Each structure stands twice: as structure tokens, then as C-alpha cells.
């Protein structure tokens, strides 16, 4: 394992009213590592990912990217820092086509096409409206968009949760 730490989150806490979603959560990811967050439903995994990627603000804690304190205020800022999420809920705009969704995220088209093909979709028209895509294709488009940006850290938050088992395999 390479000792180059890409992401180091420590002491992260988050409450929603009286509900304590996270208490003193920690995550350290070094270059080349594959790490899984595991826990029961409601354990705070999605909340933790959303904090790391700027979709939620923590009540406490610190997130370092390559040793520097990260002030990631949005998923777009996280992307620019090399942290790219694929959330449980697709982050594509349904009433836009694939091309417009790529433009919104500054996603390069050729790497996107490469990843869509690698992930098993041989024919995808970029003019297709997102709302017209089947759920499995939608999830692949979301993942391909994330991979096309060549992230330093790719954070997958239950992206297969809504898919049938045969499609996940």
C-alpha cells in the first residue's frame, strides 16, 4: 500500500434535530486503496459520504484532502478537489438530455463514452433525455460520468441499491 493519504476525515459528527446521525466518525483513504463503509441502515454511511463531498455540513470534525484542510461546500467543489461521489439518488437532471447533464458537470465527452462502453452500454445516444432512461442505464450513466472525470477518490453510496440483483452482478 502506498502511504500517500488522499482523504483523511476525523472526528466527524452530524445531528438532525435530536437524532445523532454521526458521532466521531473517521475515514482514511490512501492512494490505491479500496475502502468500504459498512453498517446497518441508518448507521450514517450516506450522511458521512455527503459530508465528505460537501452535500452536508458537519457539526464537528475535519476533512483533509492530500493533507490540506478541505473546505468543501458543495459536490462541485469536491469534484474540483478530486473527490467524486455517486450518490444513492442519481444526480442527473431528468428533463435534460445526456449531453446537457455532461455539460453541467464539466464532464469530458470522450472519456464518458469510453466508460459507458466499458460498463456494458454499447449504444447510448447523447441526445436521450435522462427521464427516458431505464433505471439500470441511469445508474451506469451516473457512474460513467463520475469515472470520466478521473477522480482521485471515487465515493459510491449504495448506487446499486435500487437495482435488481441480476443487473448488479
Domains and CATH numbers, the chain: 1-80 (3.40.50.300), 82-169 (3.40.50.300)
Query: Quick one: pLDDT at residue 160?
Result: 72
Q: Please write the tens of the pLDDT for every residue from 97-109.
A: 999 999 998 899 9
* pLDDT < 70: residue spans in the chain: 1-3, 162-164, 166-169
- β-bridge partners, 39: none
Query: Quick one: pLDDT at residue 80?
Result: 87
Contacts 24+ apart (CB under 8 A), 71-79: 76/105, 78/52, 78/53, 78/54, 79/105, 79/149, 79/151
User: Which residues, in sequence order, are CB contacts of 108 under 8 Å at separation 6+?
Assistant: 148, 149
Cell 442505464 -> residue: 137
pTM: 0.83
Q: Would you give the end-to-end CA distance of the chain in angstroms? A: 28
Instruction: Please check whether residue 163 is in contact with residue 102, taking contact to mean a CB–CB distance below 8 angstroms.
Output: no
Residue 139, classed as helix, strand or coil, is: helix
Instruction: Please check whether residue 6 is in contact with residue 66, taking contact to mean a CB–CB distance below 8 angstroms.
Output: yes
Q: Please write the tens of the pLDDT for every residue from 136-146.
A: 899 999 999 99
Angle between helices 135-148 and 109-118 (to 10 degrees): 130
User: Which residues, in sequence order, are CB contacts of 72 under 8 Å at separation 6+?
Assistant: 52, 53, 54, 63, 65, 78, 81, 83
Amino acid at each position: 500500500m502506498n502511504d500517500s493519504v488522499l482523504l483523511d476525515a476525523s472526528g466527524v459528527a452530524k445531528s438532525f434535530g435530536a437524532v445523532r446521525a454521526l458521532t466521531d466518525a473517521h475515514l482514511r483513504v490512501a492512494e490505491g486503496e479500496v475502502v468500504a463503509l459498512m453498517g446497518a441502515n441508518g448507521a450514517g454511511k450516506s450522511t458521512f459520504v455527503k459530508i465528505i463531498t460537501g452535500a452536508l455540513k458537519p457539526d464537528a470534525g475535519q476533512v483533509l484532502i492530500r493533507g490540506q484542510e478541505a473546505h468543501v461546500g458543495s459536490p462541485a467543489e469536491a469534484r474540483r478537489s478530486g473527490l467524486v461521489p455517486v450518490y444513492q439518488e442519481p444526480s442527473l437532471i431528468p428533463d435534460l438530455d445526456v449531453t446537457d447533464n455532461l455539460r453541467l458537470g464539466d464532464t469530458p465527452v470522450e472519456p464518458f463514452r469510453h466508460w459507458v462502453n466499458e460498463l456494458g452500454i454499447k449504444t447510448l445516444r447523447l441526445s436521450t433525455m435522462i427521464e427516458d432512461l431505464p433505471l439500470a442505464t441511469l445508474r451506469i450513466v451516473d457512474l460513467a460520468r463520475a469515472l470520466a472525470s478521473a477522480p482521485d477518490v471515487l465515493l459510491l453510496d449504495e448506487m446499486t441499491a435500487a437495482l435488481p440483483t441480476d443487473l448488479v452482478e
